[in-house]
């Protein structure tokens, strides 16, 4: 009997169809777009990540697309859907270079902080961090004093950044394409969430075509995009532009809406002990709740309620002993993680992975059974190898060669770095070598394929938690250098949705590969230059960057829990790891999936509940849930299925508006910080 189809996923499947023809989207004029993003958007992305913990990746993409559409229109040129998609992809790739995506705890700015952090010093890690991660602040104080990455002390770090970025982009692009070929062309999976990202591209293309035909009244996408842009401009002015400008001009940032959130934990701890409360005032959370599947947001809220009930109970019975009244959100999250949630959430994540494998296996068996019933297995196998004409595909041997070459380089580079760190062929190096081979040859292909299938079936990603960490701990390696080698572990399955969006917009895949070649040197130069420039303005973190100042120490302490596991002595990891809590989490996760499956609950509800169970900062979930309610019970009733087409375009416009107004403020900030003050 065929598997029951999820109604909500069917709505997403019917949004867009694959076109019959494909066009070349790469033009040399695209290089101007890359330079535009490198000069204006990259510094904005870094700065906003430090300031508010939000990136402007989506905003940078839409600003770039709109600007080039208007320039082309005045030059009497026409940009097709493929050219718009390539511009969109190009701007997004620039934002992801060297840890810029979201501007959070990644990249060189994070590395210089971590080596000097209180958490690293308290756990005895600071002096053990390898040279290719960051120079020792005690032995090499000069580069930290002048805050300059272009110093000889940072040469090994920069070399590793260049090599790591190249290998990551190459393998992600090529191997991700290979997985798309399997799941889309051979297995014919629907990719229900792919149209969400493609709707904005269609809005831009329809606007061009409608204006060319002098029939703009029929173009609903552009009107909806403009509404979202106006909302983003208005909210961004109050939420981000005001504190940016006031801080740059007066030295004191004025915040009407606290950044990154309002914290009520210190006051509500009397009634909800050990549970973090607060509100993230970013309006983007409301729109995000409307964009995402309704039952996913309901599940997140249910998971949050379960956590709000469970934490006080766990505190009363003594399982959350480190929490004390008066702790803020950061202290509460860290203490509850050490006491209970570190092990419990790993168990839940393992349950998610097991269920993900089970779903993939069940889908494979159902598909095989249906083919046998129809008696068309041979015909299906013959048709499955065909690819759409003109899409720009590459042979299978090139995909396999790329994967094995990159994996071999990762393994050789990791072994070489450990040899440099120890000064000789230490026995622990050979223990790590077997781990590298296992992760590169066995685990990465397996998890990538399972994730690609889940993305194709239900729009979900599966990760086996702590597989890298568990492998290193079990290897018997002593020290922390093993945590910082470039391991051949990745999940390439998440790229399949991108290629599906590329296909939906009628873009040749060769356009993407040409763009990647052009982007690589631009990403390196712009990212390094602006990270160095921003570090030179003020220490990071500091009062100038409220998000980094408040959240980075928590992230550092959390990472130290795991890094301390291989130190060879009693560590914070041993305090946080509890096998009983791990098995409780695994059992609870499997039980939850089983119950919801028994009642035929929507798939998204199941994953949403797990998301809300103490794994994320809860301050945004309530706002997202309110957005989901508004979308489901007001707009969806008024607009029907069209609502699922409208809201992704509104979200894209909102991100564009936020990006425009904040980029303007950041430009003024950079000018004010760079000005030379005269002594009279």
Name residue, tokens 């607009």: 639
Q: Which CA distances in Å does 597 have to 4, 358, 594, 605?
A: 11, 12, 5, 10
pLDDT at 322: 83
Name residue, tokens 């690293």: 120
pLDDT at 494: 81
Partners of residue 279 on adjacent β-strands: 262
Specify the DSSP element, H or E, that contains 262: strand 262-263
CB 82 within 8 A of CB 67: no
pLDDT at 379: 45
Q: Which CA distances in Å does 150 have to 73, 93, 490, 538, 563?
A: 41, 24, 30, 17, 28
- List of residues 6+ apart from 419 with CB closer than 8 A: 425, 426, 429
- List of residues 6+ apart from 592 with CB closer than 8 A: 351, 606, 609, 610
Q: Is 434 exposed, middle or buried (0-12, 13-18, 19+ CB in 10 A)?
A: exposed
pLDDT at 437: 92
Specify the DSSP element, H or E, that contains 263: strand 262-263
Q: What percent of the chain has pLDDT over 90?
A: 5
Q: Which CA distances in Å does 386 have to 184, 379, 393, 454, 502?
A: 11, 12, 11, 22, 18
CB 289 within 8 A of CB 595: no
Q: Which CA distances in Å does 302 have to 292, 305, 615, 618?
A: 16, 5, 13, 12
What distance in Å separates the CA atoms of residue 243 and residue 656, rounded to the nearest whole number? 19
CA-based diameter of the chain, in Å? 90
Segments of 53-100 assigned E as strands: none
pLDDT at 532: 87
Positive or negative: CA dihedral 27, 29, 33, 39: positive
Structure-token pair, residue 336: 């509850």
- How many residues belong to the chain? 680
pLDDT at 105: 42
Q: Is 95 exposed, middle or buried (0-12, 13-18, 19+ CB in 10 A)?
A: buried
What are the residue ranges in the chain where pLDDT is below 50?
1-5, 100-105, 216-218, 376-384, 676-680
- Per-residue model confidence as pLDDT tens digits over 315-366: 898 888 888 888 888 788 888 877 888 788 778 777 777 776 676 667 667 6
- List of residues 6+ apart from 371 with CB closer than 8 A: 377, 380
CA 96 to chain centre: 9
Domain locations along the chain: 7-674
Peptide bond into 260 cis (omega under 30): yes
Specify the DSSP element, H or E, that contains 278: strand 278-279
DSSP-derived 3-state class of residue 279: strand
Structure-token pair, residue 296: 């996913």
Q: Which CA distances in Å does 559 have to 45, 105, 117, 469?
A: 24, 11, 12, 11
Nearest CA-CA partner of 457 in 195, 194, 192? 192
H, E, C per residue of 117-169: CHHHHHCCCHHHCCCCCCCCCCCCHHHHHHCCCCCHHHHHHHHHHHHHHHHHH
């Amino acid at each position: 009997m065929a598997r029951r189809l999820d109604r909500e996923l069917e709505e997403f499947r019917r949004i867009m169809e694959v076109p019959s023809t494909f066009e070349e989207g790469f033009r040399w004029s695209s290089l101007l777009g890359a330079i535009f993003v490198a000069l204006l958007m990259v510094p904005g992305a870094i700065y906003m990540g430090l300031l508010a913990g939000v990136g402007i990746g989506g905003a940078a993409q839409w600003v770039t697309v709109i600007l080039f559409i208007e320039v082309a229109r005045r030059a009497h040129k026409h940009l097709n859907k493929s050219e718009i998609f390539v511009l969109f992809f190009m701007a997004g790739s620039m934002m992801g270079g060297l840890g810029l995506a979201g501007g959070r705890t990644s990249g060189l700015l994070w590395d210089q902080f971590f080596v000097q952090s209180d958490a690293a010093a308290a756990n005895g890690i600071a002096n053990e961090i390898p040279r290719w991660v960051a120079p020792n602040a005690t032995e090499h104080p000069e580069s930290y004093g002048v805050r300059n990455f272009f110093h000889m002390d940072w040469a090994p770090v920069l070399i590793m950044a260049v090599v790591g970025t190249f290998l990551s982009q190459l393998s992600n692009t090529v191997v991700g394409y290979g997985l798309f070929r399997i799941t889309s062309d051979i297995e014919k999976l629907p990719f229900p969430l792919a149209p969400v990202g493609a709707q904005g591209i269609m809005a831009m293309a329809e606007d061009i075509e409608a204006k060319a035909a002098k029939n703009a009244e029929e173009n609903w996408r552009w009107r909806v995009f403009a509404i979202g842009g106006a909302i983003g401009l208005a909210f961004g002015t109050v939420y981000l532009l005001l504190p940016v400008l006031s801080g740059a001009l007066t030295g004191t940032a004025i915040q009407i809406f606290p950044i990154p959130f309002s914290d009520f934990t210190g006051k509500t701890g009397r009634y909800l002990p050990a549970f973090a409360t607060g509100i993230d005032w970013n309006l983007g959370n409301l729109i995000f709740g409307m964009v995402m599947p309704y039952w996913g947001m309901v599940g997140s809220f249910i998971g949050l309620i379960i956590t709000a009930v469970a934490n006080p109970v766990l505190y009363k019975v003594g399982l959350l002993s480190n929490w004390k009244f008066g702790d803020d959100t950061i202290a509460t999250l860290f203490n509850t993680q050490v006491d209970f949630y570190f092990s419990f959430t790993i168990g839940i994540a393992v349950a998610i992975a097991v269920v993900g494998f089970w779903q993939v296996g069940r889908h494979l068996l159902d598909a095989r059974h249906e083919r046998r019933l129809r008696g068309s297995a041979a015909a299906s196998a013959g048709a499955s190898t065909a690819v759409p004409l003109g899409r720009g595909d590459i042979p299978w041997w090139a995909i396999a060669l790329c994967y094995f070459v990159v994996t071999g380089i990762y393994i050789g580079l990791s072994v070489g770095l450990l040899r440099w760190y120890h000064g000789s062929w230490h026995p622990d190096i050979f223990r790590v070598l077997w781990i590298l081979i296992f992760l590169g040859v066995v685990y990465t292909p397996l998890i990538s394929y399972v994730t690609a299938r889940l993305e194709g079936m239900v729009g979900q990603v599966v990760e086996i938690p702590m597989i890298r960490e568990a492998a290193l701990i079990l290897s018997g390696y002593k020290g922390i250098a093993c945590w910082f080698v470039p391991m051949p572990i990745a999940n390439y399955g998440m790229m399949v949705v991108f290629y599906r969006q590329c296909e939906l917009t009628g873009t040749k895949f060769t356009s993407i590969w040409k763009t990647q070649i052009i982007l690589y040197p631009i990403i390196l130069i712009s990212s390094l230059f602006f990270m160095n420039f921003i570090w030179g303005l003020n220490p990071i973190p500091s009062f100038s960057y409220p998000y980094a100042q408040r959240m980075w120490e928590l992230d550092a302490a959390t990472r130290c829990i795991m890094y301390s596991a291989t130190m060879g002595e009693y560590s914070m990891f041993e305090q946080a790891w509890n096998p009983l809590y791990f098995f409780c989490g695994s059992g609870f996760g499997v039980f939850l999936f089983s119950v919801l499956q028994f009642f035929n609950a929507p798939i998204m509800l199941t994953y949403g509940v797990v998301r809300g169970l103490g794994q994320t900062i809860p301050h945004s979930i309530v706002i997202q849930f309110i957005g989901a309610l508004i979308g489901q019970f007001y707009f969806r009733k008024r607009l029907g299925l069209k609502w699922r087409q409208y809201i992704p375009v509104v979200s894209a416009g909102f991100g564009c508006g936020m990006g425009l107004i904040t980029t303007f403020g950041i430009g003024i900030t950079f000018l004010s910080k760079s000005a030379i003050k005269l002594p009279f």
